[in-house]
Structure 1
Amino acid sequence: MSTFIKDVLSVGVSKIFIIVFGLTTSIIVARVLGPEKNGIIAALLVYPSLFMSIGSLGIRQSTTYFLGKKIFSEDQIKTAITQIWLFTTVFSMAVCFVLMRYFSKSGENMWLVILALVPIPFALFNTYNSGIFLGKNEIGTFNKINWIPTLIVFIISAMLLLWFSFGISGYLIALIGGPVFISVILLFKNKFIKAFSFDYDWVIIKKMLSLGLIYAVALLVINLNYRIDVILLDNLSTAFETGIYSKGVSITEYLWQIPMLLSTVIFARSAVSKNDKAFSLKVAQLLRLSFLAIGVLALVMFLISKYIILLMYGEAFIGSVMVLNTLLPGVLLLTIFKVINMDLSGKGKPWVSLKAMIPALIINIILNIVFIPIYGAVGAAIASTISYSFAAILFVFFYSSETKIPITVMLKYKASDFLPIVQLLKKLKR
């Protein structure tokens, strides 16, 4: 457990950087551009965000699995990755262009659509690359791939929005800078530039895609559950309501950094674990601790939500308070899914999540269509909370069935749960 805690702390530092830089950027964008323009940005970025799930074809996850289990060599995987990346870049950009241009109210401005598309190839490249580091359990390097782009985005956003008043274009340009910077570094640092080849090994590509596609579909359905509200708000309501909703959601996403902190390490460790049952019991312990931590933070956030919104985004976003408060119960329950899902994904069983997420997505869509015309942003929050809660409860049963761990064992707190924290505090005192 000590090395696990070390990895968690390493990822934790990365998550702190992501939260600080991401939150500061969010504040700048909100205060400079206001609710309506923030709504336009949210509507433009929702499709590229979704296609980072399906466009990545689950290659990061399948890379981690095959490298962690030593099924293929690193060089073989790198070559396969570059060949898959060239195809997915073209596919993702083409489909995203059609969706943004013809299925979004915010896609009327061609310049903004192009700017929103440009980060896709670089973000995909970075995602593929990170799977190499996870498969080798090089958590430190994986962390840098995640937090350095947020720093670059923050710096460029501050310059273009505060000093040069570039508006929406300025922020979209900033979103290009982060992924491009990391891509250039990784191209040489990880020697990916030597991996480009026209000598195709179809056996490896087929195996990576066959497992990766399952990951991709699972990630797409999961992310659709997170993003469908923005898509439907864009079509059924106004840019103002979309902007109000996007800022309420953004705060809950930072709350999710805690389970994401754990899930990164869980996925990497699960992929190389020799004793699946013992590892799943550790994951259940981490679930109990993270649920408690997020429960306390969610309660505090609920009590001071008004002050958080006003301090960060200003009076113009006062409507985001109700959105935030409505989302918090669902966000808390979905913490369960976020932690334990990575265990099954690391074991090569990403399809299990679909059994919970597909019904939850259907519920989400129906409720959004019903509630958004009546309640706007708050209606979308109600739909999401119900959907998240349903998915989390359902997935507990599926996880218990797959791991052969009774639900009572999985969720019941024990005194031993807190021993790692006590040990860590003792070490910090020395």
Structure 2
Amino acid sequence: MAIDGQQFVKNSMLTFFRQGINIVFGFVLLIVLARLLGPTGQGSYALITLLPTLLLTFLTLGMNTSSIYFISKGEVALQTVYINNLIIGLFLSLLSIGVGIFFVIFFSDLFFTATPHVLLFLCLGALPFLFLREFLQTIFQGLQDFKVFNTAIVLNQGATVIFCSVFLWMCHLGLLGAILAFMIGTILPVGYMLVLLNKKHHLRFSWRGFSKDYFRKAIAYGMKTHISNFASFLNYRLVLFLIGFFMFDAAVGIYVAAMNIGERLAIFASSVSNVLYPKIASIASEEERNRLTSLVSRTILAGTVLVACIGMLLANELIPALFGSRYEESATLLVLLFPGIALLSVEKILSNDLAGRGKPELNMYVSLWNVVFNLGLNTVLIPRFGLKGAALAATITYSFSFMVKVYVYRTVTREPFHRFLLLQKQDFKRYRTFIESRLKA
């Protein structure tokens, strides 16, 4: 299952290229939502779609990351993973719908005061497809078939943009149209991946193919990663609920505009991380693991810091030009978010390395502490400083988490700090050689 360094770079670049297409779709979607729904409508959209996304992240039980790990190591038959993922995904989606209905009925007045409840219930209907999309994508990630993996992501975002434009601009359906587009965007990639798994790998569904042994192994490994991933998700998204609680939906829309642009900074780090996790799991040599992650980590750090500095200089012109004058405050928020997001990009690389080594519990401990730390900061800073307080809390949390993860990685690998944080002289030769080979190709 191992692949050579050249294939790793190729997969990373393929992922980056298709993620780049995804960024374009993402920007178009942001612009459409911002201009046609306004800050209040965009804030309501963010909160409505956050509910099923939160339930998905909370209830996957780590089955998605277990799929990547065990497929990469070749320890479990692909057919077994496929059947288990389908059955467990459908069961968990039904459970999550029940939890979501309960939450809307009893807690919507706290977090969704200006949001139509019918749209909250409607959006819960996307959950079966969200679970299947997540569980099928990770099969392709474990196979290191990043062509299909990234095409599914682009199909998801592209379909959402197209249908959102049609429903909002041509049909004038408003917030309802945006929610329908979100749901269609989750359905199409599921069908695409099911067809390919059938054609390329001849996988067939059978209720009798469910493996209790694999389920137990997957839960034992995955729950450690799951808790870490869910805690990380709370760090990124809990702030939206808190802004909705302390402020109003329009404030959520203004913050979301800055947050979504800032997160695009991490696109290359995410692209490499998706490739790095199964790659590290498939490498037996500790020396080779350390060499690969150190090269990736220091390169990502240098690149994201450079892009963050450029973004901070352009923010005041970029935000109003894209979204309109109603989003001017988003520019200030973006400047505050950029430093933390740059460091977060590197932390993702180190986290995936640790998970690929079979030590996901280390990420879990750090993530759990970050949730408590971030929650405390937000409850203090949002009432006092508003949206600027939320952005500042995010950057402080990401920076603290980065420092802790750097120490943890250093402890596990014994790599000197400068090896995985600072560019080396030979790196520039590597970059030049790679660029020249690509140009010749």
TM above 0.5: yes
Matched, 1:46 2:50: yes
In the other structure, the counterpart of 1:74 is 78
Identity level (%): 24
In the other structure, the counterpart of 1:119 is 126
Matched, 1:148 2:155: yes
Asked whether the 8 Å contact 1:277–1:403 carries over to 2, the reply is: no
In the other structure, the counterpart of 1:266 is 276
The alpha-carbon deviation at position 47 of structure 1 amounts to 2.6
In the other structure, the counterpart of 2:361 is 351
* Separation (CA, whole Å) in 2 of partners of 1:208 and 1:106: 35
Q: Over residues 315-353 of structure 1, what are the superposed CA-to-partner deviations in whole Å (9 max), with x where a residue is unaligned? A: 011111111111111111212211111111222222111
Instruction: Tell me the SS of whatever aligns to 2:360.
Output: coil
- Amino acid of the residue matched to residue 113 of structure 1? L
The alpha-carbon deviation at position 100 of structure 1 amounts to 4.0
* Separation (CA, whole Å) in 1 of partners of 2:264 and 2:103: 27
The alpha-carbon deviation at position 193 of structure 1 amounts to 7.5
In the other structure, the counterpart of 2:171 is 164
* Separation (CA, whole Å) in 1 of partners of 2:408 and 2:249: 38
* Separation (CA, whole Å) in 2 of partners of 1:145 and 1:270: 23
Structure 1 spans left out of the alignment, 5+ residues: none
The alpha-carbon deviation at position 90 of structure 1 amounts to 1.2
In the other structure, the counterpart of 2:404 is 394
Indicate how the Cα distance of structure 1 residues 418 and 53 shifts in structure 2: closer, same or farther if over 3 A, else same: farther
Indicate how the Cα distance of structure 1 residues 196 and 276 shifts in structure 2: closer, same or farther if over 3 A, else same: farther
Matched, 1:375 2:382: no
1:251 pairs, out of 261, 273, 276, with: 261
The alpha-carbon deviation at position 286 of structure 1 amounts to 1.0
* Separation (CA, whole Å) in 2 of partners of 1:64 and 1:356: 22
Asked whether the 8 Å contact 1:57–1:216 carries over to 2, the reply is: yes
TM-score (norm 2): 0.93
Q: Over residues 85-110 of structure 1, what are the superposed CA-to-partner deviations in whole Å (9 max), with x where a residue is unaligned? A: 12211122222333344334326523
Aligned ranges for residues 8-407 of structure 1 at < 5 Å?
8-104=12-108, 105-106=111-112, 109-191=116-198, 194-198=204-208, 200-407=210-417
The alpha-carbon deviation at position 198 of structure 1 amounts to 4.2
* Separation (CA, whole Å) in 2 of partners of 1:120 and 1:280: 38
TM-score (norm 1): 0.96
Asked whether the 8 Å contact 1:270–1:276 carries over to 2, the reply is: no
The alpha-carbon deviation at position 199 of structure 1 amounts to 5.0
Cα RMSD over matched residues?
1.7
Indicate how the Cα distance of structure 1 residues 53 and 280 shifts in structure 2: closer, same or farther if over 3 A, else same: farther
- Amino acid of the residue matched to residue 159 of structure 1? V
Moved more, 153-162 or 104-113: 104-113
* Separation (CA, whole Å) in 1 of partners of 2:187 and 2:163: 13
Indicate how the Cα distance of structure 1 residues 357 and 183 shifts in structure 2: closer, same or farther if over 3 A, else same: same
The alpha-carbon deviation at position 266 of structure 1 amounts to 0.4
The alpha-carbon deviation at position 152 of structure 1 amounts to 0.6
Aligned residues: 430
Instruction: Tell me the SS of whatever aligns to 1:304.
Output: helix
1:421 pairs, out of 420, 431, 434, with: 431
